[in-house]
């Protein structure tokens, strides 16, 4: 049975929470009522990446994209688009800045500049149906590898492709495979690190939700290359949809005979077990993750020995991140040269970024390495909303740093980001505007790492706590100028002396903001002022007389009665009573109250 139209509805986490499941059900119901279920097929897919406009859907063959579709819109889409052959204008994508309307998904700027390799199937196939993956050349790479290549040849292809670890470290993937293969021992393991914990990064979740089989296939290829028969996926328990899709995918792959014994009529066997993370950020660190699978407190151990030498239960173990693995089948099918054709000299291929914060199009994008931050933020991301000014982009989560406006033209590569005092990390990219306080942001990240420090080594356990105390002092107006030097000294010490990546990178958010925004620290510590007006104890709230319309709304919401004045008279805030909660700022319709 061939269908004349396909409706692809995103069922990633963000769209599901915007009720895409209900929209899909409604489509099914109404198409059936009209007897159209034979002509129009409704498919639920993984993440399109356009999360800010969810729920999103695409109608094929036209390639029309509709955004923010509600249950009430279903009837109109069926009557006008499916039956009438016209587009429903009001649901098309409208550029937040230029107000320009675009019909086709491929013409939208957000998608135009992207190169999708790791995300190639996300949004195109039903992740719960292995046949759809196979129809897009799924498991062909595994078949090719098992029947045509020796393990050494596979490793060579990956080495030549220049692929580096996408989880943060950037270690050359092919080399990691080679080292694990060369380690002596019969029993080896492959682990997929899906313990994505960086606040602001959600690419691994989207890949697992949208294209779980690509990860399973890559793990089997890796197993063949290094000589392992068992794989583990360590995934965060919080990712409910991803866990459910992986469970389905593993059982379908076993039924289809692409996992298990005698794959592709060879004597190679490979199977995968799912392990759920129990909520500890440090378990994203590879040695901590291994300790956790073994059933212990997830504390890291010193390296060497590296997991490639002695990993899970002391056996040589290959541990790769989800996004790294998702690139593997495409590299095998299209060749190392093809992959190395994207990107730059030292950073090959593409990288997925989760863009969020103060940006027009929040969502998930995949771009060639070497693209500039400016292109990502302004061309793809649609710029900064509400006419505000760009201040900094935070990359690499709690291990990374902030990149200021002056470096917007930096190309995005592993090494250039390190030089700028940040890092690639897992690919979270949070945009901040002039209403964000950089000292507050640094404090925010330190609160996170301090909380997530496992406590095994002293520099990280005690050091991050001391740094946090200093930052709390500074943001409360109790800091001194010497505190800034102390922060730097402590930060460098923690970097040098910590046991694992968490501690070694924990001071980065502070050190990088100190590098580019030291003036803000000085303003807090010496002048007792928070220039952005974020730090409550260092800001005052005032009413601008020229803009006040004397309505009295602010006085009604003030919880401490700090606003004095009668209706139709100018109001004033009593600074001694004011607790700077900001309720009046939210209430004022005329934006007459400012920090």
| Residues at the site binding another protein, with contacts judged by CB under 8 A | 13-14, 16-18, 51-52, 54, 196-202, 205, 237-240, 275-281, 292-299, 313, 354, 356-358, 362-364, 394, 397, 428, 430, 432, 436, 441, 444-445, 448, 451-452, 454
Question: Residue 279 or 567: which CB sits closer to another protein?
Answer: 279
Question: Residue 204 or 217: which CB sits closer to another protein?
Answer: 204
CB of 282 to another protein, least distance (A): 9
Q: Which residues are registered as beta bridge partners of 119?
A: none
Length in residues, the chain = 595
Question: Residue 165 or 363: which CB sits closer to another protein?
Answer: 363
Distance (Å, rounded) from C-alpha 395 to C-alpha 380?
16
CB of 525 to another protein, least distance (A): 22
Residue pair 3/80 in contact (Cβ under 8 Å)? The answer is no
Which residues lie below 8 Å from residue 399, measured CB to CB, with a gap of 6+? 168, 198, 423, 425, 501, 502, 505, 506, 508
Which residues lie below 8 Å from residue 105, measured CB to CB, with a gap of 6+? 48, 58, 63, 64, 65, 111
Q: What is the DSSP letter of 49?
A: S
Question: Residue 295 or 387: which CB sits closer to another protein?
Answer: 295
Where helices occur in 262-384 by DSSP H, the ranges are 286-293, 322-334, 336-340, 373-374
CB of 31 to another protein, least distance (A): 26
CB atoms within 10 A of CB 387: 8
CB of 135 to another protein, least distance (A): 28
CB of 455 to another protein, least distance (A): 9
Question: Residue 320 or 361: which CB sits closer to another protein?
Answer: 361
Which residues lie below 8 Å from residue 509, measured CB to CB, with a gap of 6+? 394, 398, 400, 401, 402, 441, 442, 445, 446
Question: Residue 294 or 337: which CB sits closer to another protein?
Answer: 294
The CA-atom distances, in angstroms, between 150 and each of 154, 155, 590 are: 7, 9, 71
CB of 294 to another protein, least distance (A): 5
CB of 454 to another protein, least distance (A): 7
Distance (Å, rounded) from C-alpha 192 to C-alpha 417?
25
CB of 550 to another protein, least distance (A): 24
The helix (run of H) or strand (run of E) holding residue 220 is: helix 212-226
Question: Residue 202 or 390: which CB sits closer to another protein?
Answer: 202
SS3 371: coil
CB of 393 to another protein, least distance (A): 12
What is the β-pairing status of strands 390-395 and 401-404?
Answer: antiparallel
The CA-atom distances, in angstroms, between 492 and each of 39, 445, 464, 466, 508 are: 64, 17, 11, 13, 9
Residue pair 123/46 in contact (Cβ under 8 Å)? The answer is yes
Which residues lie below 8 Å from residue 228, measured CB to CB, with a gap of 6+? 188, 189, 190, 222, 270, 318
CB of 382 to another protein, least distance (A): 13
Question: Residue 85 or 295: which CB sits closer to another protein?
Answer: 295
Question: Residue 216 or 393: which CB sits closer to another protein?
Answer: 393
Question: Residue 357 or 501: which CB sits closer to another protein?
Answer: 357
Distance (Å, rounded) from C-alpha 498 to C-alpha 425?
18
CB atoms within 10 A of CB 173: 26
The CA-atom distances, in angstroms, between 322 and each of 26, 193, 340, 350 are: 33, 6, 20, 14
Question: Residue 153 or 451: which CB sits closer to another protein?
Answer: 451
**Distant-in-sequence contacts of 576-580, Cβ < 8 A, 24+ apart:** 578/540, 578/541, 579/536, 580/536, 580/537, 580/539, 580/540, 580/541
CB of 398 to another protein, least distance (A): 9
The helix (run of H) or strand (run of E) holding residue 364 is: strand 363-368
Which residues lie below 8 Å from residue 505, measured CB to CB, with a gap of 6+? 396, 398, 399, 400, 423, 495
CB of 430 to another protein, least distance (A): 5
Question: Residue 35 or 387: which CB sits closer to another protein?
Answer: 387
CB of 493 to another protein, least distance (A): 25
Q: Which residues are registered as beta bridge partners of 416?
A: none
Question: Residue 363 or 491: which CB sits closer to another protein?
Answer: 363
Distance (Å, rounded) from C-alpha 499 to C-alpha 454?
11
Question: Residue 139 or 445: which CB sits closer to another protein?
Answer: 445
Residue pair 335/158 in contact (Cβ under 8 Å)? The answer is no
Strand order in the sheet with 317-321: 271-277, 230-236, 189-194, 317-321
């Amino acid at each position: 049975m061939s269908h004349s139209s396909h409706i692809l509805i995103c069922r990633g986490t963000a769209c599901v929470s915007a009720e895409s499941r209900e929209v899909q059900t409604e489509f099914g119901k109404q198409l059936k009522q009209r007897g159209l279920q034979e002509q129009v097929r409704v498919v639920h897919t993984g993440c399109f990446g356009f999360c800010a406009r969810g729920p999103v859907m695409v109608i094929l063959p036209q390639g029309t994209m509709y955004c923010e579709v509600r249950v009430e819109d279903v009837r109109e889409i069926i009557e006008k688009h499916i039956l009438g052959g016209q587009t429903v204008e009001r649901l098309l994508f409208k550029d937040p800045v230029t107000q320009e309307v675009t019909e086709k998904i491929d013409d939208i700027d957000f998608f135009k500049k992207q190169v999708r390799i790791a995300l190639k199937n996300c949004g195109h196939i039903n992740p719960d149906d292995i046949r759809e993956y196979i129809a897009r050349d799924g498991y062909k790479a595994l078949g090719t590898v098992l029947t045509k290549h020796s393990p050494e040849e596979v490793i060579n292809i990956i080495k030549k492709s220049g692929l580096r670890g996408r989880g943060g470290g950037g270690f050359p993937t092919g080399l990691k495979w080679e080292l694990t293969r060369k380690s002596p021992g019969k029993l080896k393991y492959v682990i997929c690190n899906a313990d994505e914990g960086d606040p602001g990064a959600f690419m691994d979740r989207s890949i697992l939700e949208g294209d779980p089989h690509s990860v399973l296939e890559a793990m089997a290829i890796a197993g063949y290359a290094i000589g392992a028969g068992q794989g583990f996926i360590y995934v965060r328990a919080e990712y409910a949809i991803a866990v459910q899709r992986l469970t389905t995918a593993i059982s379908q792959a076993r039924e289809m005979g692409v996992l298990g014994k005698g794959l592709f009529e060879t004597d190679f066997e490979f199977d995968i077990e799912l392990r759920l993370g129990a909520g500890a950020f440090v378990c994203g660190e590879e040695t901590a993750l291994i300790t956790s699978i073994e059933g212990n407190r997830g504390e890291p151990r010193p390296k060497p020995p590296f997991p490639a030498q002695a990993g899970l239960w002391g056996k040589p173990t290959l541990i790769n991140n989800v996004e790294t693995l998702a690139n593997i089948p495409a590299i095998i099918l299209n060749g190392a040269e093809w992959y190395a054709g994207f990107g730059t000299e030292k950073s090959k291929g593409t990288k997925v970024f989760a863009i969020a914060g103060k940006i027009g199009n929040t969502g998930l994008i995949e771009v060639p390495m070497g693209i500039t931050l400016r292109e990502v933020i302004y061309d793809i991301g649609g710029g900064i909303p509400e006419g505000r000014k760009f201040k900094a982009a935070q990359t690499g989560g709690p291990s990374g740093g902030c990149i200021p406006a002056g470096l917007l033209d930096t190309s995005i590569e592993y090494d250039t980001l390190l030089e700028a005092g940040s890092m690639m990390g897992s690919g979270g990219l949070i945009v901040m505007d002039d209403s964000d306080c950089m000292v507050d942001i640094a404090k925010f990240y330190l609160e996170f790492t301090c909380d997530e420090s496992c406590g095994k080594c002293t520099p990280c356990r005690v050091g991050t706590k001391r740094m946090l105390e200093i930052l709390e002092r500074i943001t409360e107006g109790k800091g001194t100028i010497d505190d800034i030097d102390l922060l730097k000294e402590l930060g460098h010490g923690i970097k040098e002396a910590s046991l694992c990546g968490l501690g070694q990178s924990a001071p980065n958010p502070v050190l990088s903001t100190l590098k580019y925004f030291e003036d803000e620290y000085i303003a807090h510590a010496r002048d007792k002022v928070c220039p952005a007006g974020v730090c409550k104890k260092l800001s005052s709230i005032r009413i601008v007389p020229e803009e006040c319309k004397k309505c009295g709304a602010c006085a009604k919401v003030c919880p401490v009665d700090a606003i004095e004045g009668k209706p139709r008279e100018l109001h004033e805030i009593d600074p001694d009573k004011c607790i700077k909660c900001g309720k009046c700022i939210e209430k004022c319709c005329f934006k007459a109250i400012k920090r």
